[in-house]
Amino acid sequence: MINSKRINIKIKDQKFRKSLSLDKPTLMERYKIMYKETFQTSPPGSSANVIFQSKNIIKHKTVLDLGCGAGRLSLYASKYAKHVTGIDYIDKAIEYSNKFTKMCNVKNVDFLVGDIDFLKEDKYDVIMMAEVLQHVDNPLKTLKKCKKLLNKNGHLIISIPSFNNFRGTVWLTLQSLFNLPMSLTDTFQISADDMQSMCQKTGFKITKLIGTAWDWAWTEWGIDDLKRRVFLATTDAKLVQIADFKAMNKWLESNLTFNKQFINYLVNNKIIKKRPTDTLLKIPKNANIKEKKYLDDGNTKVNLYYCDTLPFNRMGEGTTYILKKI
Ligand SMILES: C[S@@+](CC[C@H](N)C(=O)[O-])C[C@H]1O[C@@H](n2cnc3c(N)ncnc32)[C@H](O)[C@@H]1O
C-alpha cells in the first residue's frame, strides 16, 4: 500500500552540503570544498581492489597515479613499484598525500599539483586512474593523453563506476527521466561498451575487466546510498514537493532480500570471489581514527567481492579495466 506521508530525512552536515550545491559551477570548485571537509573521496575498498588486481603489473615499474586524491592508492602502489608519482589538481589533496607519505615513512613516491590535461609528457610504465575518468571533461582526450604518457607496452589501469546493477538502474532511471543530479562530481557514466569504443579509438586493448563493489551495487550499502542520494538530488532539482521519499525508501528496501539471494547465488557458484583482506601500509600509532580508516582500506570489510567472468563482471558498482597500449 502506498503511503504518501512525507518523511523528514536529516542530513548531518547541513552546512557542508549547502556549500557543495550545484551553485558551484566547476568540478574543481566542488572538489576544493570537498577536500576541506574530507580526504575520503572514493568508496571504501576501492584502492585495495585496484591494488589487488594490479600488483603484479606494477611490480618494479614506474607508476603515475592520475587524480591521486589524498594519495592512498599511490602509497599502496609504492609497496610494489619502483617509483610512484601522484598528481592531482587540488592542492589540499596533495597536502594530505605528502602528510600521509611522511607519516607512513614511504620513500619511493612523490606528489605534484597538476591538471591531467596540461601535464608535460614524461614517460611511465603504468598509469593508474582510480575513480577519475568519470569526472574529466573529455574522457577520450584523457585516454589519448595517457597513451602519450606511457612507455611502449605500457599499462593503463582504470576504475570507474558501473551502472549494470540495481543501484545503477535506479540512478540512471531517475537521471534520464527527470534529469536528477544524482552526483555532483560525475560528468559521465561510462559503460563497458563505451570503454571498448574509446580503446579502439585511442590504441588500447582491454586485457581484463573486473567487476567490484558488489555491496554498493546490490545490498544495504547501495540501498542506503540511494536513499541519501535520491533525497539530495531531488532537493537540488527542486522537486521535493512532488517526491514521496517514504514510498521510495520502502520500495528500495523491499528489493534487499531478492538482491541478497542473487549475490549468494553468485558467491555459491564461485562467480564472484572474495579478495583477501590485507594490511597494505604501515600506519603509525599517532594516526587519528579517520586517517586510520582511510589508510587501512585493505582491511575494510565492504566491497570485498570481485568477478572477472562475462557477463557478470559488468554488474558490480565498480569496474576495474586493465588496458594495454597497442
Ligand atoms: C573521486 S576522487 C578519486 C581520488 C583517488 N584516485 C582515489 O581513488 O581515492 C577524483 C580525483 O580526481 C581529481 N581530478 C579530477 N579531474 C582532474 C584533473 N583534470 N586533473 C587532476 N586531477 C583531477 C580530483 O581532484 C579528485 O581528487
Handedness of CA 65, 77, 285, 41 (dihedral sign): positive
Residue 3 lies in a domain: no
Residue 16 lies in a domain: no
Say if CB 316 and CB 217 are below 8 A apart: yes
> pTM (2 decimals)?
0.92
Region 157-185 average pLDDT: 92
Say if CB 320 and CB 73 are below 8 A apart: no
Residue 1 lies in a domain: no
42 lines ligand 1 (CB under 6 A): yes
Above 70 in pLDDT, residue 12? no
Q: Which domain covers residue 215, as residue numbers?
A: 24-325
- In the numeric block, the cell 500500500 is attached to 1
Region 91-115 average pLDDT: 97
Distance 167 CA to ligand 1 centre (A): 23
Polymer length in residues for the chain: 326
> What are 215's three cell numbers?
555491496
Atom of ligand 1 nearest to the CA of 159: 8
Q: What is the pLDDT of residue 13?
A: 52
Q: What is the pLDDT of residue 9?
A: 37
Distance 281 CA to ligand 1 centre (A): 21
| Number of domains the chain is built from | 1
Q: What CATH number does the domain containing 275 carry?
A: 3.40.50.150
What are the tens digits of pLDDT across the range 33-90? Answer: 889 888 989 989 999 999 999 999 999 999 999 999 999 999 999 999 999 999 999 9
90 lines ligand 1 (CB under 6 A): yes
pLDDT grade for 2, boundaries at 50, 70 and 90: very low
